[in-house]
A and B are shown apart, each in its own frame.
Chain A
Amino acid sequence: MTCIVDYGVGNLSSLVGSLRHIGEAACVTAEPELLLSADRIILPGVGAFGDAAERLFSSGLAEVLHRAVEKGIPLLGICLGMQLLFERSLEYGEHRGLGLLRGEVRRIDEAGGFPYKIPHMGWNSLKITRSSPILRYVKEGDYVYYVHSFCARGVGDALCASSEYGCEIVGAVSSGNVHGTQFHPEKSGEVGLSILRAFCEMKGGVS
């Protein structure tokens, strides 16, 4: 069973639907006991970082996620859910993240004179920089679907795939049992489904 963290952000029907489509039992929940006994956890998210982080911290879910990761439960953050895994974000002010991964979140075009349209929205190809269990079925150059204006920086060797969009966009990260994708696997056709399938094949365990 894969639990999707319910903290009141966004529409989860595509994510739930895509998990069902690959034969994975999924539940959307904010119950600590359920999350801590899950085989895997997905942290979804669309919207603003500050808002979402505040909800995670004030509800106690941030602490539950830390305990789940300590227990060895595989965790996948998607889009804003990935960004929340890092230490902080500079999206409209400065906000603290979960700090499960090293790095921070900044505007894609912060360098100025950025040549492309923001948000980075559409299909972009992946450059695989390091092997990761979530990318086991993904080939170099496969396309995935992005929608975002902010991106991760300074993620070190957690980086496992990136896309080019006027700068290097962190596409996928993995470190231990913590994983994330900036793109939406539940909107990335067969490639996206293969990433969810790979994640759902992961087994948890006490690390």
Chain B
Amino acid sequence: MLAKRIIPCLDVRAGRVVKGTNFEGLRDVEDPVTLARFYNDSGADELVFYDITASAEGRGIFTDILRRVASEIFIPLTVGGGINSLADFDLVLKSGADKVSVNSGAIRRPELIGEAAKRYGDQCVVLSMDVKRVGGELRVFARGGRDDTGLEAIEWAKRGEASGAGEIVLNSIDTDGVKRGFDLEMLRAVSEAVSIPVVASGGAGCIEDFITLFNTLPRVDAGLAASIFHHRTVEIRDLKARLRAKGVDVRV
């Protein structure tokens, strides 16, 4: 059977890894290549890199880093941030990404999902969703959690799947950075609505949060986190040993 995946996420700006709380107050942590090597050696199953630089110059630095990571880390790499066109897909795939994550670009132009899936395969297209509760509804937000799109999360997830997305990363803005556990309610709603893999993101604060995630929601395939790994609050090796002891199948 497939192992549940543990995925550290690296937000990269101007060549450095940053991570904020509720998307604000970004802080520098470490060099992305060093950090990627550290995670690979610690047993991470996949790495996600988000390019949070908006400029063309920043994009050049980012793809440079991606190339360096891909030349020495041999586990799957997912790349997101500023993916708006097939040309953007092409650039990061050529720089070493295995999967490409779309968010605001797909909200602006939903056809992007289908076009990319057709050209590169479903397995290559990840739909990343930033979701927040608004008046009792699960609402999709764009531009790093700043704009309420009015889209309902379940509908958007289903539409993404139907268009050819091979995986969904569900980030709860409500729990992101709070470190009191994943948003189980939101994850349950989305993972039961689609049949593609769902990656849980936002809210992990300790090892127990991952145990609760996988034991409560067997349909969730992976857990993603950033700062708790960057700050070594949680060591991936310890996390996997504990998960395995609790009956969760992980790669060790």
* A residues at B contact (CB < 8 Å): 11, 13-14, 17-18, 20-21, 46-47, 116-117, 119-125, 143, 145, 147, 164-165, 186-189, 192-193
Contacts and interface: CB of A to CB of B under 8 A. Distances in A.
B71 interface: yes
Contacts of A189: 40, 74-75
A13 B96 contact: yes
A127 to B, nearest CB: 12
B31 to A, nearest CB: 19
Main secondary structure of the interface of A (DSSP, over half): mixed
Contacts of B197: 117, 121-122
Contact of A11 (B75, B94, B166, B221): B94
A192 B74 contact: yes
Contact of A145 (B76, B93, B96, B196): B76
Nearest to B93: A11
A187 B74 contact: yes
A119 B122 contact: yes
Interface range for B: 20 to 34
Interface string B23-51: 00000000000000000100001000000
A187 B93 contact: no
B70 A17 contact: yes
Contacts of B3: 122-125, 143
A123 to B, nearest CB: 4
Q: Across chains A and B, which 4 residue pairs bring their CB atoms closest together, nearest first? A: A143-B251, A122-B2, A123-B3, A17-B71
Contacts, number: 73
A153 B72 CA distance: 34
B150 interface: no
23 contacts: A11-B94, A13-B70, A14-B96, A17-B71, A17-B74, A21-B72, A117-B195, A117-B197, A119-B123, A119-B166, A121-B166, A122-B2, A122-B45, A123-B2, A124-B1, A124-B2, A125-B3, A143-B3, A164-B1, A165-B1, A189-B40, A189-B74, A189-B75
Contacts of A120: 2
Nearest to B252: A143
Q: Which of B5, B71, B75: most chain A CB closer than 10 A?
A: B75
A47 B76 CA distance: 17
Contacts of B93: 11
B98 interface: yes
Contacts of A147: 123
B121 interface: yes
Contacts of B70: 13-14, 17
Given A13-B67, A13-B71, A121-B166, 10 more contacts: A13-B96, A17-B74, A119-B122, A119-B166, A120-B2, A123-B45, A123-B251, A124-B2, A187-B76, A189-B74
